[in-house]
Structure 1
Amino acid sequence: MKLVSWNVNGIRACVRKGFLNYFHEVDADIFCLQETKLQEGQINLELEGYHQYWNYALRKGYSGTAVFTKKKPLSVKYGLGEVDTQEEGRIITLEFEKFYLVNVYTPNSKRDLTRLEYRLEWEDELYSYLKELDDQKPIIYCGDLNVAHQEIDLKNHKTNHGNSGFTTEERGKMTRLLESGFIDTLRHFHPDTEGIYSWWSYMKTIRERNVGWRIDYFIVSSRLKDYLQNSQVHSQVMGSDHCPIMLEIDRPDQPV
């Protein structure tokens, strides 16, 4: 089973930049989007063979998530508890027979950290939610999580300590999750490989010089470890300030 996650930074703009070419070439079983930046009726994507699920933000041109899946899920849930009021369209959960797929666009704590407190509340609520789901069946959790977990996950870690996306608090929330029964699949396959990033500033030559951050993830329940086949970052794919990431995993044939 092949899954792709991509923060497209506006799906309409990304389509103009070749999104559909990549979408059809990669031929994923499940394709997750973050930061779709539109409302219902503003795009008509003809994706033959896929069921489409969209979670729109109330604010125009902001946030939003979507999931395209070949296999129809048993159920679909939008949003998360009291912290996610549905206004920003940041979470979609698809339930399948043997696992949950949770697609997330995590709030940015902002450059001046004015949204850090909200971000940490979000992390606590999401953590509880993921643990509840994991008690029922394994989870595949993906998206733009807006944190570089370790120093290896960004180019200039020394000058970014304490900055948005690399605060001790944000990194600590990721550590808590991974230590409670989940796997960062990219680091499972490439624990010490440097220079693997998924986001770059639009500033001139930044992406060409690979001055980036890895803030997009596929994270799975630890009991799916033996099913993992591959985890990649498709840094050569353009169309957004993020690049797509991909997970290949055997489809669980029984509850694990």
Structure 2
Amino acid sequence: MYFIVVLTWKAVTDVEATTKKTTEAEDEPTTKKTKIEKKSSTASTDLPDDVDTSFPTQINPDAKTKDGRKFTKTIVSWNVNGVRAWLKKDGIDYLQKYKPDIFCIQETKCSQEKLPASLKVPDYHSYFSSGDTEGYAGTALYSKEKPINVTYGMGIKKLDDEGRLITAEYDTFYLVGAYVPNSGKGLVRLKYRTKEWDVAFRDYMKGLDAKKPVIYCGDLNVAHQETDLKNPKTNRNKTPGFHDDERQGFTDLLAEGFFDSFRELYPNARNVGLSGHT
């Protein structure tokens, strides 16, 4: 079963988004507990009235803003299945070679106290969120531009204890990097995923969108359409990520006015997202 990492935004203009589509191989959590480091900088700011929020279909990568800044941003999302293993495989070279404006990571599997020093990259501001369980879940964000504000989680303790969410605020948009809970073998976490996480996350996204457009990327653990995986008939309601309730949760998010940007641009593409973690 393969999962597609989808970049979703609501009416964000002038953003070029690139995602690295990956699969998930989520491990069972261990029992060791670690402390989550919560950070927040300055207060949120509202979107200027003159910002165009129509959905972009034609983007000029060489365009400049009125004050001379690059008009587009490149955003990459990658489930690395453990940052320490990723570093050993020279995964950090990707960031250093291609230099995306924003780089989101899922499944860091490393507590704050054990983050390798080599994860610090020149010219990037980096942020890490780990959960209560060592070696499980976790997210990270690298950004060339220092965000106005960075927050971790949704503000709901029972949903924030696995380090699955980072939100960065910029002048004209929010960037949300997520590692959405997997429903697990036998769909043992399906109710938690669909009745708790998805519902709370949708409200969280609506709250952000009331202030500024939102770009949402990460390992979303859902194959929304049958064209998003190879064998839909044999996987439907049996495999995590392709249960009707999970798919409906994503449909409900789109119903709030958000766009699945990949499907907006490539509505008939099939068999995408078939790469491994590294």
TM-score category (smaller protein): 0.7 to 0.9
Kept in 2: contact 1:160–1:166 (CA 8 A): yes
SS in 1 for 2:246: helix
Q: Distance in 1 between matches of 2:213 and 2:220?
A: 19
Give yes or no for the alignment of 1:54 onto 2:128: yes
Gaps of 5+ in 1: 198-211, 213-234, 236-240, 244-256
Amino acid in the other structure paired with 1:165: G
Deviations 1:23-44 (A, max 9, x none): 1222100100010000123211
CA distance in 2, matches of 1:165, 1:9: 17
- State whether residues 83 and 125 of structure 1, in contact with CA within 8 Å, keep that contact through their aligned partners in structure 2: no
> 82, 86, 101: which one pairs with 1:10?
82
Deviations 1:93-126 (A, max 9, x none): 1111111011110011112111111101100000
**Superposition deviation, residue 85 in structure 1:** 4.2
Q: 2:277 aligns with which of 218, 225, 242?
A: 242
**Distance in 2 (alpha carbons) for counterparts of 1:2 and 1:84:** 33
The corresponding residue for 1:41 is 113
- Measured after TM superposition, the shift of residue 171 of structure 1 is 0.1
Contact 2:159/2:197 (CA < 8 Å) preserved in 1?
A: no
Residue of structure 2 in register with 1:251 after alignment: none
**RMSD between aligned alpha carbons?**
1.3
Match of 2:221 in 1: 146
The aligned residue for residue 160 of structure 1 is: 235
Question: Paired residue for 1:65?
Answer: 139
The Cα of 1:185 is off from its aligned counterpart by: 1.3
Aligned twin of 2:25: none
How many Å apart are 1:179 and its aligned residue? 2.3
SS across alignment from 2:160: coil
1:4–1:30 contact (8 Å) kept in structure 2 = yes
1:140-190 deviation digits (Å, cap 9, x = unpaired): 011101110000001111110002110100000111111221111111221
Tell me the equivalent position of 2:250: 174
- Does structure 1 residue 79 correspond to structure 2 residue 79? no
Q: Which has the higher strand share?
A: 1
CA distance in 2, matches of 1:67, 1:109: 24
Q: CA deviation at 1:84?
A: 4.4
1:202: which partner in 2? none
Q: Report the Cα distance in structure 2 between the residues aligned to 1:182 and 1:87, rounded to whole angstroms.
A: 27
Shift of residue 21, structure 1, vs aligned partner = 1.8
- Separation of aligned partners in 2, 1:24 and 1:156: 36
Structure 2 length-normalised TM: 0.70
Structure 1 residue aligned with 2:264: 188
What fraction of aligned residue pairs are identical, expressed as a percent? 47
In structure 1, how many angstroms separate the alpha carbons of the residues matched to 2:137 and 2:152? 14
Checking the alignment, whether the CA contact within 8 Å between 1:83 and 1:122 is kept in structure 2 is no
SS in 2 for 1:93: strand
Question: Matched residues in 2 for 1:242 and 1:172: separation?
Answer: 26
1:83 positional shift? 5.9
**3-state SS of the aligned residue for 2:184?**
coil
Task: Name the residue aligned to 1:99.
Answer: 173
Change (3 A) 1:242 1:178: farther
Query: Relative to structure 1, is the Cα distance of residues 85 and 147 closer, same or farther in structure 2, using a 3 angstrom cutoff?
Result: closer
